[in-house]
Amino acid sequence: MYTVKCLNPISKQGLDLFDSEFEVIDDLGAADAVLVRSAKMHDLEVPDSMIAVARAGAGVNNIPLDEYAAKGITVFNTPGANANGVKELVVAGLLLASRDIIGGYNWVKEHAGDEDLAKAVEKQKKAYAGNELKGKSIGVIGLGAIGVLVANICNRLGMKVYGYDPYVSVRSAWSLSRMVNHSSSLDEIFEKCDYITVHVPCIDSTRGMINKEAIAKMKDGVNILNFARGELADDQAIIEGLASNKIKHYVTDFPNPTIAGVDRVITIPHLGASTEESEDNCAEMAVDQLMNYLKNGNIINSVNYPNCDLGEVETARITVHHKNLPNMIGQLTAILAADNHNIQNMLNKSKGDWAYSMLDIEREPSKEVIEKMKAVDGVVRVRVL
Ligand SMILES: NC(=O)c1ccc[n+]([C@@H]2O[C@H](COP(=O)([O-])OP(=O)(O)OC[C@H]3O[C@@H](n4cnc5c(N)ncnc54)[C@H](O)[C@@H]3O)[C@@H](O)[C@H]2O)c1
């Protein structure tokens, strides 16, 4: 029986996936694994029994990844589980930028009690006329889980879509509509597009990518959408672009005191993944990955160890968390060879300073074999499954 402690409320839809080999418990001190959303784990004392943390969501800055890697604790997250929620809000953002829904809504609210409202509407409506998305060009920067969905739906809305992602994964490339034009430079996106939407992580190379120079290259009246991270845009440059009418609207999910309230900034309070469905998807994915890891040792979507998948355990499997050093495999296999083990299948991958090895063998290993593996310099955890 494996025990799991939830540090935050986790969607029932996810928890219901646990089969009879798993029990959700209250006592962290007795847990094999933890499910977490936003609870801060940096100062949390965790028991030696804990071997995995699954974050139902994408961001992991509430978890001490390096410290856990050094203890052989695998940390998982759920990339892409909220992609559809974000995609749908981007579509709403496009419509809010192209049609003056907010201006029109406010006017109707102000005049809600007017006797002749229906007549007044017919006179007033031209003040809120807009444009259609069909036929307009959109540049999607970053074609990951969210960017691909956004690009594909924009194509179905009749927009001319340009996609830019120099590191696009094979999975994303397969999922992308063939109608999406491949842009080989950001400048092409800046120069050609009526709408520009960013879906990249906020890292050193992307922070401030929507800056003064970038905006200067854009079409007059461009609409910029940012549902990725506030720091990707230089707020001051956005404000200047709006003031000079270079930018028509800046739609962002990340308000801050500099940008909120500025004319033609449409900002909402980080609602991208705030849907029941996203929470359910994240919890389902986290539980699924946790069960697979605890039962089979397979690592899918870890942030501090490499992804490794050998399918279900057939006879016996040894998994080893270790430092990414030379000759680790040589030492581990020599221990098995000395005890006459036949290795049926094997996988070893590394991620930064850490590595993970899976060894499928034809019979249960003895205690001595496992103790010898644990004693290898650089090994931090050995499991037998
Ligand atoms: N608004 C919200 O609530 C919300 C929710 C989830 C994610 N997000 C944000 O959206 C971002 C994207 O999420 P995702 O799930 O699609 O992530 P992802 O990892 O699946 O995709 C990111 C993509 O960006 C690409 N990329 C990296 N650097 C790039 C660069 N310099 N130029 C172009 N492309 C680059 C990567 O190759 C990858 O394909 C996340 O990093 C997160 O900040 C926001």
**DSSP per residue over 345-372, as a string?**
EEEEEEETTEEEEEEEESSPPPHHHHHH
Strands 181-182, 247-252: pairing kind: unpaired
262 CA to centre of ligand 1 in angstroms: 26
Token pair belonging to 210:
């929507």
Three-state DSSP class for 240?
helix
pLDDT value at position 188?
97
Ligand 1 center from residue 315 Cα (angstroms): 40
CA distance 67 to 87: 34
Mutating to test ligand 1, I would choose from 146, 172, 282 the residue with most ligand atoms within 8 A of its C-beta, which is: 146
- How many other CB atoms are there within 10 angstroms of residue 340's CB atom? 8
What pLDDT does 58 receive?
Answer: 84
Write out pLDDT tens, residues 65-80.
999 999 999 999 999 9
What gap in Å lies between CA 331 and CA 342, rounded to an integer? 15
Q: Rounded CA gap, 307 and 328, in Å?
A: 18
Mean pLDDT for all residues in the chain:
97
Q: Six-digit token pair at 375?
A: 């004693």
Angle at 273 between CA 272 and CA 275, to 5 degrees: 115
* Tokens 């050998």, located at residue: 310
The answer to whether 231 and 202 have CB atoms below 8 angstroms apart is yes
State the DSSP code for 299: B
Note the pLDDT of residue 43.
94
**Closest residue by CA, ligand 1 atom 19:** 144
Q: DSSP letter at 341?
A: P
User: What residue owns the CA closest to ligand 1's atom 35?
Assistant: 142
Q: For residue 199, how far is its CA from the centre of ligand 1 (angstroms)?
A: 4
**Residue 341: per-residue pLDDT:** 97
* Regions of the chain short of the pLDDT cut 70: none
Decide if 349 contacts 379 (C-beta within 8 A). Answer: no
| Cα 43 to ligand 1 centre (Å) | 29
Token duo for residue 315: 């006879």
According to the model, what pLDDT value does residue 142 have? 98
- Ligand 1 atom nearest to CA at 80: 15
Nearest atom in ligand 1 to 271's CA: 3
Identify whether the C-beta of residue 219 lies closer than 8 Å to the C-beta of residue 191: yes
The closest-lying atom of ligand 1 relative to the alpha carbon of residue 144 is 21
Q: CA-CA distances (angstroms) from residue 304 to 50, 301, 337, 348?
A: 15, 9, 30, 15
Strand order in the sheet with 343-351: 343-351, 354-361, 316-323, 379-384
Backbone angles phi, psi at 264, to 5 degrees: 70, 15
Give the separation between CA 333 and CA 159, rounded to whole angstroms: 56
Q: Among the atoms of ligand 1, which is closest to the Cα of residue 229?
A: 43
23 beta partners: 3
Neighbours of 375 (CB within 10 A): 11
Residue located nearest, by CA, to atom 40 of ligand 1: 201
Tokens of 381: 């955890």
CA distance 330 to 323: 14
Q: Which atom of ligand 1 is nearest to the CA of 79?
A: 15
Return the residue whose CA atom lies nearest to atom 27 of ligand 1: 200
Residues with CB under 6 Å of ligand 1 are 58, 79-80, 82-83, 86, 141-147, 164-169, 172, 199-202, 205-206, 227-229, 253, 270, 272-273
Task: Tell me the residue length of the chain.
Answer: 385
Tell me the two tokens of residue 320.
Answer: 């080893």
Specify the pLDDT at position 61. 86
